[in-house]
């Protein structure tokens, strides 16, 4: 029986690019083949619980703007929220969803109460997943909202907070495993500092390193086959976050011996906050062999905080999915809409329309990226640019066969005198524009 929250809508149809009905897809077609694979299997869309069903629409100056019948802290509220959430996943045809423990269960007054509430809701969600076929892309623990975490979770100066966080992650890994989740995410929202004046940086990094090692040990202990993912972000809520960006996370994983165990969940808005582009973070992640999943959204380029808007920039999406395709596509990962409505978008339909637009934009980006791959639009000129390296002497410079002195002799004897060549950036930009 439907909750009626979305009126009579039960499935958003594909109506083609000419459609002017906001409740139809214009580009996303689950079964359309792209590079021989269904669009749905490429994009692996996921809807996040927190922005759409939990966030009340507050901002630093204004209180709640959304009124939802499930806002409250009882198990009944949590179940109604789940009913509506699954109606939306189904209406959109989204194959996956994601949660924090605090999104799906009422907040209890103790660890025992939290765990008991989580258990009830995991069973409830399990039934809904069974009934609808919607799967869990990832679960995660909210280790940042409650005041106990104001000084960090794993990096807290108080060992009791570390313990509370560790115990909570254990229950969330159990829940994710039970629901067949394909990944488990750690976003270190408060793993960082406000001021170095009260922070022992070395100790906090070691605490975080041990914490993450315990997560990996426990994953293997219970036989969880999904990937453990870290989600980088440079700042907000803390002034400085330890998981700053992909490069920083890789250094951290190396230092604590986890580079083969943990991958990254790259978010568009976080890349922008770190002063990078989304495609930079994706390219680096795949180069380092730690690409896992993406949190899809859009940051406002003029603001210094995480605006989590729905994506609407096709050329940007094309370059992002180009990197995903270069990585061989998603394995356990997917496209999770970590995106939220603007606080004036208070109608139930706004939730659907925002996701429809985001999914269409990703579909267009994917199509453009796939066409560029097919045509070798970027790979052919790229190969040509580096073609000098197939030369015998060039290879020896990298293989270890030659040292600086050998190379100096070679340069002298052959009168090597390189002639600069154009990087042809505008030509390549024009090529990309033909596809988007």
Residues that contact Ni ion, how many (by CB under 5 A): 4
- C-alpha atoms less than 13 angstroms from C-alpha of 239 in its C-beta half-sphere: 7
Alpha helical stretches, state H, 311-421: 314-326, 348-375, 379-385, 392-399, 404-413
Nearer to Ni ion, 115 or 307 (CB): 307
The residue (of 27 and 231) whose beta carbon lies closer to ligand XLS is 231
Among 42, 105, 233, 263, binds ligand XLS (CB under 6 A): 233
Binding mask 48-77 for ligand XLS (x = CB under 6 A): ------------------------------
Q: Which of 46, 140, 156, 364 binds ligand XLS (CB under 6 A)?
A: 140
Residue 138 interaction partner, one of ligand XLS, Ni ion, none, beta carbon < 5-8 Å per kind: none
Nearer to Ni ion, 57 or 106 (CB): 57
Q: Is 241 in the site for ligand XLS (CB under 6 A)?
A: no
Among 276, 338, 370, 435, binds Ni ion (CB under 5 A): 338
How is 87-156 classified by DSSP, letter by letter?
HHHHHHT--EEEEEHHHHS---SSHHHHHHHHHHHHHHHHHHHHHH--EEEEEE---SSSGGGTT-STT-
Distance of CA 308 to the CA centre of its chain: 12
Q: Which position among 306, 322, 351, 359 is part of the footprint of ligand XLS (CB under 6 A)?
A: 306
Nearest to 220 by CA among 189, 249, 258: 258
Work out whether 245 is an interface residue with ligand XLS (CB under 6 A). Answer: no
Q: Phi, psi (5° rounding) for residue 110?
A: -155, 170
In the list Ni ion, ligand XLS, none, the entry touching 87 (Cβ below 5 to 8 angstroms by class) is: none
Residue 99 C-beta: closest distance to ligand XLS, Å? 9
Radius of gyration of the chain, Cα coordinates, nearest whole angstrom = 24
Map the footprint of Ni ion across residues 92-121, applying CB under 5 A. none
Least Cα distance to 304 among 237, 232, 231, 230 occurs for: 237
- Does position 295 interact with ligand XLS (CB under 6 A)? The reply is yes
Q: Counting runs of H as helices and runs of E as strands, what totals does the chain give?
A: 16, 12
Task: Give the residue with the Cβ less far from ligand XLS, 26 or 355.
Answer: 355
The CB density around residue 49, as the number of other CB atoms within 10 Å, is: 22
Binding site partner of 370, from Ni ion, ligand XLS, none, Cβ cut-off 5-8 A by kind? none
- Tokens of residue 427, six digits: 């030509």
Nearest residue (CB) to Ni ion, 80 versus 290: 290
Residue 338 binds ligand XLS, judged by CB under 6 A:
yes
What the block records as the tokens of 357 is 């637009």
Is 243 a binder of Ni ion (CB under 5 A)?
no
Write phi, then psi, for 54 (nearest 5 degrees): -115, -45
For ligand XLS, the binding residue among 187, 242, 310, 435 (CB under 6 A) is: 187
Terminal CA-CA length for the chain:
42
155 Cβ contact partners less than 8 Å away, ≥ 6 residues apart: 188, 190, 191, 192, 204, 205, 207, 208, 242
Nearer to ligand XLS, 98 or 317 (CB): 98
Helix pair angle (348-375, 314-326), 10° resolution: 60
Span 75-104, contacts to ligand XLS by CB under 6 A: 100
Binding mask 248-277 for ligand XLS (x = CB under 6 A): -------------------x----------
| Minimum CB distance to ligand XLS smaller for 281 or for 295 | 295
The C-alpha atoms of residue 391 and residue 400 are separated, in whole angstroms, by 15
Q: Prior bond to 366 cis, omega within 30?
A: no
276 binds, among Ni ion, ligand XLS, none (CB under 5 to 8 A by kind): none
CA distance 31 to 22: 21
Binding mask 13-52 for ligand XLS (x = CB under 6 A): ----------------------------------------
CB closer to Ni ion, 245 vs 295: 295
Give the shortest CB-79-to-ligand XLS separation in angstroms: 23
DSSP 311: P
Q: Choose among Ni ion, ligand XLS, none what residue 103 binds, the Cβ cut-off being 5 to 8 Å by kind.
A: none
Query: What minimum distance in Å lies between the beta carbon of 51 and ligand XLS?
Result: 8
Q: Which residues bind Ni ion (CB under 5 A)?
A: 267, 295, 306, 338
Q: Which residues bind ligand XLS (CB under 6 A)?
A: 100, 140, 185, 187, 231, 233, 267, 295, 306, 338
């Amino acid at each position: 029986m439907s909750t009626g929250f979305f009126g009579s809508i039960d499935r958003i149809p594909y109506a083609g690019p000419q459609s002017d009905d906001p409740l139809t897809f214009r580009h996303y077609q689950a079964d359309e083949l792209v590079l021989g694979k269904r669009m749905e299997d490429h994009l692996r869309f996921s809807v996040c619980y927190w922005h759409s069903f939990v966030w009340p629409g507050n901002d630093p100056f204004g209180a709640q703007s959304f009124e939802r019948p499930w806002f409250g802290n009882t198990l009944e509220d949590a179940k109604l929220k789940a009913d509506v959430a699954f109606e939306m996943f189904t209406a959109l045809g989204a194959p996956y969803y994601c949660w924090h423990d605090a999104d799906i269960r009422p907040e209890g007054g103790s660890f025992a109460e939290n765990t008991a509430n989580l258990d009830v809701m995991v069973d409830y969600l399990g039934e809904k997943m069974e009934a609808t076929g919607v799967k869990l892309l990832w679960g995660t623990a909210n280790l940042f909202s409650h005041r106990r975490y104001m000084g960090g979770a794993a990096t807290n100066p108080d060992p009791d907070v570390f313990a509370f966080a560790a115990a909570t992650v254990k229950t969330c890994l159990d829940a994710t495993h039970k629901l067949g989740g394909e990944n488990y995410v750690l976003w270190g929202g408060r793993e960082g500092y406000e001021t170095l004046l009260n922070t022992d940086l070395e100790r906090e990094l070691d605490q975080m390193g041990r914490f993450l090692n315990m997560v990996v040990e426990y994953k293997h202990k219970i036989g969880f086959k999904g990937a453990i993912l870290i989600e980088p972000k440079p700042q907000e809520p803390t002034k400085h976050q330890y998981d700053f960006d992909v490069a920083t996370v890789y250094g951290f994983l190396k230092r604590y011996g986890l580079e083969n165990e943990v991958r990254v969940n790259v978010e568009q808005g976080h890349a922008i906050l770190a002063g990078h582009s989304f495609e930079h973070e994706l390219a680096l992640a795949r180069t380092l062999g730690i690409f896992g999943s993406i949190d899809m959204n859009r940051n406002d380029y003029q603001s210094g905080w995480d605006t989590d808007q729905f994506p609407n920039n096709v050329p940007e999406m094309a370059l992002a999915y180009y990197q995903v395709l270069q990585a061989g596509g998603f394995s356990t990962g997917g496209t999770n809409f970590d995106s939220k409505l603007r606080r004036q978008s208070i109608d139930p339909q706004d939730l659907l329309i925002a996701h429809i637009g985001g999914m269409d934009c990703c579909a267009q980006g994917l199509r453009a990226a796939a066409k560029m791959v097919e045509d070798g639009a970027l790979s052919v000129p790229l190969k040509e640019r580096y073609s000098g390296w197939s030369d015998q002497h060039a290879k020896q410079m990298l293989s270890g066969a030659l040292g600086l002195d050998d190379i100096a002799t070679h340069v002298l004897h052959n009168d090597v005198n390189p002639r600069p060549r154009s990087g042809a950036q505008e030509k390549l930009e024009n090529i990309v524009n033909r596809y988007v």
